[in-house]
Chains A and B, each alone.
Chain A
Amino acid sequence: MSKVKDYIYRPEYECMTRSEMENLQSERLRKTVELVYNNCKPYRAKMDECKIKPSDIRSVSDLCKLPFTVKHDLREAYPFGFYSSPQSDIVEIHASSGTTGKLTVVGYTQNDIDVWSEIAARSLAMAGVTKDSVVHVAYGYGLFTGGLGAHYGAQKIGAGTVPASAGNTIRQLTLLRDFGATHLCCTPSYAIYLGTEIQKAGMNIEDFSLVGGAFGAEPWTYQMRSELEKLLHIDALDIYGLSEISGPGVAMECMQKHGCHIQEDHFIPEIIDPETLEPLPFGCEGELVFTTITKTGQPLIRYRTRDLCTLSNEKCACGRTTVKMGKVKGRSDDMLIIRGVNVFPSQIEAAIMNVSGVSPHYMIYVDRINNLDVMEIDIELDGNLTPDKVSDVEAIKKKVETEVNSYIGVGAKIRLCEKGTIRRSEGKAVRVIDRRE
Chain B
Amino acid sequence: MLVKQLSVFMENRPGRLYKLTHALGKEGIDFVTLSIADTKDFGIVRFIARDNDRAYEVLKNEGFTVGITELIGVEVADRPNALAEVVSLMEESDINIEYLYSFVLTNHNTAKILMRVNETDRAVSLLQNKGIKLLSEKIL
Q: For residues 56 through 73 of chain B, which have their beta carbon under 8 Å from a beta carbon of chain A?
A: 63-69
Cα–Cα, bound, A387→B39 (Å) = 14
Is residue B37 contacting chain A, with contact meaning CB distance below 8 A?
A: yes
Q: For residues 373 through 424 of chain A, which have their beta carbon under 8 Å from a beta carbon of chain B?
A: 381-390, 393-394, 415-421
In the bound complex, do residue A415 and residue B41 qualify as a contact, i.e. CB atoms below 8 Å apart?
A: yes
Is residue B17 contacting chain A, with contact meaning CB distance below 8 A?
A: no
Q: Which of B11, B67, B98, B99 contacts A417 (CB 8 A)?
A: B11
In the bound complex, do residue B9 and residue A385 qualify as a contact, i.e. CB atoms below 8 Å apart?
A: yes
Number of contacting residues on A, CB 8 A? 19
Cα–Cα, bound, A30→B46 (Å) = 73
CB of A122, distance to nearest CB on chain B (Å): 50
In the bound complex, do residue A387 and residue B11 qualify as a contact, i.e. CB atoms below 8 Å apart?
A: no
**Chain A contacts for B41, CB-based, 8 A:** 415-416
Is residue B50 contacting chain A, with contact meaning CB distance below 8 A?
A: no
Known: A388-B7, A388-B116, A390-B37. A418 touches B16 (CB 8 A): yes
**Chain B contacts for A416, CB-based, 8 A:** 9, 11, 41-42
Known: A385-B65, A388-B67. A418 touches B46 (CB 8 A): no
**Chain A contacts for B64, CB-based, 8 A:** 418-419
Is residue B10 contacting chain A, with contact meaning CB distance below 8 A?
A: yes
In the bound complex, do residue B63 and residue A386 qualify as a contact, i.e. CB atoms below 8 Å apart?
A: no
Is residue B44 contacting chain A, with contact meaning CB distance below 8 A?
A: yes
Q: Mark B63-86, 1 if CB is under 8 A from A, else 0.
A: 111111100000000000000000
In the bound complex, do residue B39 and residue A390 qualify as a contact, i.e. CB atoms below 8 Å apart?
A: yes
Cα–Cα, bound, A385→B63 (Å) = 12
**Chain A contacts for B7, CB-based, 8 A:** 386-388
Cα–Cα, bound, A385→B41 (Å) = 18
* Interface class of chain A by DSSP: loop
CB of A357, distance to nearest CB on chain B (Å): 10
**Chain B contacts for A417, CB-based, 8 A:** 11
Known: A381-B9, A417-B11, A418-B9. A388 touches B42 (CB 8 A): no
Number of contacting residues on B, CB 8 A? 22
Q: Which of A385, A393, A415, A420 has the most CB of B within 10 A?
A: A393
CB of B103, distance to nearest CB on chain A (Å): 19
**Chain A contacts for B37, CB-based, 8 A:** 390
Q: Mark B36-52, 1 if CB is under 8 A from A, else 0.
A: 01010110101000000
In the bound complex, do residue B98 and residue A418 qualify as a contact, i.e. CB atoms below 8 Å apart?
A: no
**Chain A contacts for B67, CB-based, 8 A:** 385-388
CB of A333, distance to nearest CB on chain B (Å): 31
CB of B52, distance to nearest CB on chain A (Å): 13
Cα–Cα, bound, A381→B8 (Å) = 12
Known: A387-B65, A394-B39. A418 touches B44 (CB 8 A): no
Q: Mark B10-41, 1 if CB is under 8 A from A, else 0.
A: 11000010000000000000000000010101
In the bound complex, do residue B44 and residue A387 qualify as a contact, i.e. CB atoms below 8 Å apart?
A: yes
Cα–Cα, bound, A383→B62 (Å) = 11
CB of B83, distance to nearest CB on chain A (Å): 21
Cα–Cα, bound, A386→B11 (Å) = 15
CB of A414, distance to nearest CB on chain B (Å): 9
Closest to A382 in B: B65
Cα–Cα, bound, A389→B41 (Å) = 15
**Chain B contacts for A394, CB-based, 8 A:** 39
Known: A385-B9, A387-B7, A390-B39. A418 touches B65 (CB 8 A): yes
**Chain A contacts for B116, CB-based, 8 A:** 388-389
**Chain B contacts for A389, CB-based, 8 A:** 44, 98-99, 116
In the bound complex, do residue A421 and residue B11 qualify as a contact, i.e. CB atoms below 8 Å apart?
A: yes
CB of A144, distance to nearest CB on chain B (Å): 32
Closest to A389 in B: B98
In the bound complex, do residue A388 and residue B69 qualify as a contact, i.e. CB atoms below 8 Å apart?
A: yes
**Chain A contacts for B44, CB-based, 8 A:** 387-390, 393
Closest to A394 in B: B39
Cα–Cα, bound, A384→B64 (Å) = 9
Known: A387-B8, A393-B44, A416-B9. 11 other contacts (CB 8 A): A381-B65, A386-B66, A387-B9, A387-B65, A388-B69, A389-B99, A390-B44, A416-B11, A418-B9, A418-B10, A419-B63
Q: Give chain B's interface residues, CB within 8 Å of chain A.
A: 7-11, 16, 37, 39, 41-42, 44, 46, 63-69, 98-99, 116
Q: Give chain A's interface residues, CB within 8 Å of chain B.
A: 381-390, 393-394, 415-421
A-B contact pairs, 12 of them (CB 8 A): A384-B65, A385-B67, A386-B68, A387-B67, A388-B67, A388-B69, A389-B44, A389-B116, A390-B44, A393-B44, A418-B9, A418-B64
